[in-house]
Structure 1
Amino acid sequence: MNDLFTDDIEEQARRGRGALRNLTGRFEALSHHRADDGWEPQEQTVVKTQVFDDHPRRILTRNQSPDVPFDRSINPYKGCEHGCIYCFARPTHTYLGLSAGLDFESRIFAKPDAAQLLEKELRKQGYIPATIAIGTNTDPYQPIEKDRQIMRRILEVLDAYNHPVAIVTKGALVTRDTDILGRMARRGLAKVALSLTTLDPHLSRRMEPRASAPQVRLRAIGALARAGVPTGFMVAPIIPALNDHEIEKIIEASARAGATWCSYVALRLPREVSPLFRDWLDEHYPARAHRIMAQVREMHGGKDYDSNWGKRMKGEGVYANLIARRVEAAMKRHDLRRRLAPLDCSRFALPARKGDQFTLF
């Protein structure tokens, strides 16, 4: 049983975390709530990060969504210690019998066999290469990657096989791997995007408490660009009446740092993310909470979220159209592209392994 399943977690216990609560997952039969029984109250212990090893049979995840420019991805980790309150991936933890709240950012599942599984899949007969996206669900460069180095081993495999990769991250730790990424980029095999939500360090610390600070991410863009890695950024997510006034400033700062392409995503609040985000607004921005949610619903047909393809990423309506025009104008002003040319899949080849026989002809 999950010992953290309770509606409210004391502020001291959840310091440095994004979620305020540990909502019971939608697949659980029982929910747990704190109650004062009249006896001496017991203080909750600080929520600490726990890492568990996960051993899946396969590492490549396939998708057919028309909203994204890739059909396969890798997630080195389940859950994300960055703790971004708006993270659309939070509900995935409910499939593990855990909460989309504090569990998602404190109970992390690492895949130590990821590189070996990847190599096995790349060697399958009939495998057809296409860009592998990494960081589309949970961040491959979250804090535990510094010790685990699962992402680095994945890159070593992709480098050896001349296989293209596209990375999205909020973690400046990505600069650790500029040696591999720079080498791959020179062969047209790698590109990276840093996700930027705000340039305000105080808002960032509240909204994405363990992600790299905004200025650190900007420096990471510069470091990658200097290493010859095609580097872009995502203004994501754009939240009405909270960070939307920063759109032009984020785009300008990223372009100056060395980014050459840009994209954006509107706030997405699927399933458990919606109540978690509304709780967060009520605690940190109570005076603006109603206005923010009213504009979010205006973008999603009167709902907190519309999951339909073609609408979920950008929204629709007057406000959504205004955001699109502002982003387009700022991109044009700073000579940014919407998307880079496809990475090179023609170089893909299986490297020789010890014991392989070589042909004479």
Structure 2
Amino acid sequence: MDSCAARRLFLFPLVAPKLPPAYPPRGRRRGRGRGNGALSGAARCSPEANGGWGGIVEDDLAELLQILPRDLRDNLQNEPRKDQLLEVILDLGRRPEARFLGDSGGQYLRDSEISQKELEDAQRAVGEFGGDNRAGIEGTLHRISAIRSRKGMVVGLTCRVGRAVTGHVDMVRDLLNYKESILFLGRPGVGKTTVMREIARVLADEFQKRVVIVDTSNEIGGDGDIPHAAIGGARRMQVPQPSMQHRVMIEAVENHMPEVVIVDEIGTEAEAQACRSIAERGVMLIGTAHGERLANIIKNPTLSDLIGGVETVTLGDDEARARRSQKSILERKAPPTFPFLIEMRERHYWVTHRVCQCSLYVK
């Protein structure tokens, strides 16, 4: 893995060594990219039964339906696609809407609008909303997010279904054997948190690692003080306020001696710096960030440090002529915090990049 040939992706040369799988690939296809986009590997999982997932799914859907108005609850219980339910939208003065996996639009659940009383009843049925306007249902993985008016009154609820999936991590199981940090990149709703939950269980129970989850909104381990059984033997540290996530990440390493730290939704410069600090201490990191392609991270000044960052370098005349480039170029600033980056382009189609720890340049 030390010898690597430079490849180019989105104008940034990236290294794509062929990785020998530690386990025979199961239910996935790996390949080499061609053309201008050099891909380290692609993994695809064919949708099967159980809501389109390639494994066993547990969703505690009945618990989520209990917070909805009775007529909506009855409609969804009789819905043939309820196993593929993604979220239910309750907005004041609008018709309630259900959204399903794989559908670009939604489905109205009734013709009448949501009233203020129905929103208040739903609020009382869930836990207390935190500083990030998120709440949960104790003992489940569901997430309820609030939209507030300028006066602070809740005028909308997004009731997101949380699922525990067993077997989905097989797409990248061989990468876990390298004991190197992995960053999952994807747009909202593609299943990043679900994968974090399953990876935590596999690393803790099957790999026998000391795993600590930094759970900012209780999405990975579920609401309540007792974490959901879906994370197995992994430990969970809750975060009082979203702005304190980076502090809890450092506290987890200093106080609890983890071999693996799992953190969801890395989005600020402080969190990126905390990831860098943790990686320098020899702890394996599993994290997620919002984006669709590696280029999104490269162009994001807040998160670019996760893959080493970029800086402007001025070349001498002879060097510029040798490289056939301009005198001012961009180079990687430091070794990447996450040697592996996985683009979750779809729920069943991921692309793996191996980010090499060598000096790279771009014209």
Structure 2-normalised TM-score? 0.34
Indicate the structure with greater helix content. Answer: 1
Structure 1-normalised TM-score? 0.34
